[in-house]
Amino acid sequence: MIRLCKGEKKLQLIKEMNYKQNRDSIYKYIIENSNLDQKMEHELYVLQTYLLSLYREALETDINLNDNNLFNREDFELSADDVKRLTILMDFGEADRCLYAAHSTESILPISPTERVSIASIVSGKSFSSSYRSSGRSNMDQEFQCGTISYLTLEALRHYQKNFSKTFHQSQVEEKVYEPGIFVTSERIMKMVAKLLHIGVDSPDPKSTMYQPIVFNCSSKAPFLLELFSRSMWLLSRTRREMKVSTITDYPKVMQVLEKQLQMVLSRRPKDFERLTAYMTEITFEEVLAKWQEEKDQEFVDLQNNNASIIELKESLSKENEQYVIHQRINVLKVGQVFPKVTEKKTGKYIFVQLSRNEKELFIFDIKNSKYTEQMSLQDKISIGDITHIATGLNCKHVRLCKSPYLAFSLIINSEKYVNFIADDEKMACYWTDAFHILTNTPRRSTYYQEELDTIVEMDVRLKLLELQNVVIPKVPPPVPPPPIEKPSVTPRTKILSNNRY
């Protein structure tokens, strides 16, 4: 219905849907007590986008920081003297106690007066003034200069200061010490949150299902957006300490990690503020790194399987690298292996089997002990050309003597004679059967053969992609340019030779 309305009627309908009783009904009868399908999740996302669009005007309205008609800058930004005074009182460890914090408006962080840690440890014994000068505010990049903030950011700061005073003071001190300042940071975090929640978009995403249950389960005294902003400011403080950064040059990295943390938190769809805080506590900097690595690996897998250029490259590399796998299999036979001697459905002594250097004959030696091959006597010599078939697994007559059918394989010589083998493990059995299939020009290969070939090809592809230095690979190759309309004129050879005489 909201989609079909326009202008004032649409705005009025959105405001009516934003009434607490309407949101409570949606939460109680739709979100809480039913299994939602993808279509319903999308409808909730669309409604959420319309409800949060009520903040759009405040988000796009800028306020000059030096305009004292709306607020006093000193109410939010600390001076050097204030920081010195607060270093005795502030406790950076109190943010770590928020795991079981409630979503009341009293405080996220209950703290005992006896648990106080000075901020002096952060600046390593240096005075605030020297630390402040070393940070280089005078040389700060232009992007960190802030002359205005949005009206929505101002309201969020007021909410943060009023309801979470302890962590607000913590943010004040950290932004003064580490820079770029509480106004720059709060404005960036508000824009970050607005981006994640699609506030300010002209129309909802037609495929998104990222609705947040708390939007429909919060009161007017604790609006979801302002509460999320307050917790994001606290999360920034914790993330900064986890990353062990303290300079302005690290600021973009911290904000990038913070955005990923918020994205991961919102993807879990917490149903109340207590769980929202708990999820923020769980998703640490290490969790973000692990998530990025997972996404990077998945991106590489998708690139390998779907990109036409990479598929063509893999086919080329597969033909080249297959020779390495073939040589490895043949070398296993040339080195030789000890096998139990199988005779008349029983095992007794041992044999040592080895391929000749010219790869044309197979030598079988009798040995007394499986560990010592110094004293060997040649029992048999088989020409590779006489091997007519290689039997494996359940097709072997001696399979009952094996712990597993995958360990058994046999050579059938001239369709009459059988030479039976029992390998120590499945992998070694596959190596030998692969080698015999290669020597007899049989196309059959084991699963180990293909897995090892795929591993080598994947490593080569990764090396090729590293050489590109993160250049984006197009999904389809660029079109071949058409030939020129007219061929360029070529000077006759005789004329060139005559000119060279002079």
pLDDT at residue 451, as a whole number:
92
How many other C-beta atoms can be found within 10 angstroms of the C-beta atom of residue 408?
A: 25
Rounded mean pLDDT, 87-94: 37
Least trusted range by pLDDT, from 78-82, 188-192, 303-307: 78-82
H-helix or E-strand containing 343?
strand 337-343
262 band by pLDDT with thresholds 50, 70 and 90: very high
Least trusted range by pLDDT, from 87-101, 157-171, 288-302, 466-480: 87-101
pLDDT at residue 372, as a whole number:
62
pLDDT at residue 327, as a whole number:
93
Which tens digits make up the pLDDT trace of 123-151? 333 333 334 344 444 444 454 555 788 88
395 band by pLDDT with thresholds 50, 70 and 90: confident
CA distance 370 to 351: 8
CA distance 265 to 289: 15
How many other C-beta atoms can be found within 10 angstroms of the C-beta atom of residue 146?
A: 16
pLDDT at residue 330, as a whole number:
92
333 band by pLDDT with thresholds 50, 70 and 90: very high
331 band by pLDDT with thresholds 50, 70 and 90: very high
How many other C-beta atoms can be found within 10 angstroms of the C-beta atom of residue 243?
A: 15
374 band by pLDDT with thresholds 50, 70 and 90: low
Q: What is the mean pLDDT of the chain?
A: 76
pLDDT at residue 386, as a whole number:
86
How many other C-beta atoms can be found within 10 angstroms of the C-beta atom of residue 214?
A: 23
pLDDT at residue 53, as a whole number:
81
CA distance 67 to 265: 36
Per domain, the residue ranges of the chain are: 7-296, 321-449
- Report how far apart, in Å, the C-alpha atoms of 198 and of each of 211, 322, 462 are: 11, 50, 36
208 band by pLDDT with thresholds 50, 70 and 90: confident
321-449 belongs to CATH 2.60.40.2550: no
pLDDT at residue 31, as a whole number:
79
- Residue 368, CB-side half-sphere exposure with 13 Å CA sphere: 2
Structure token pair of residue 63: 């306020």
The one-letter amino acid code at 206 reads P
H-helix or E-strand containing 380?
strand 377-383
pLDDT at residue 79, as a whole number:
58
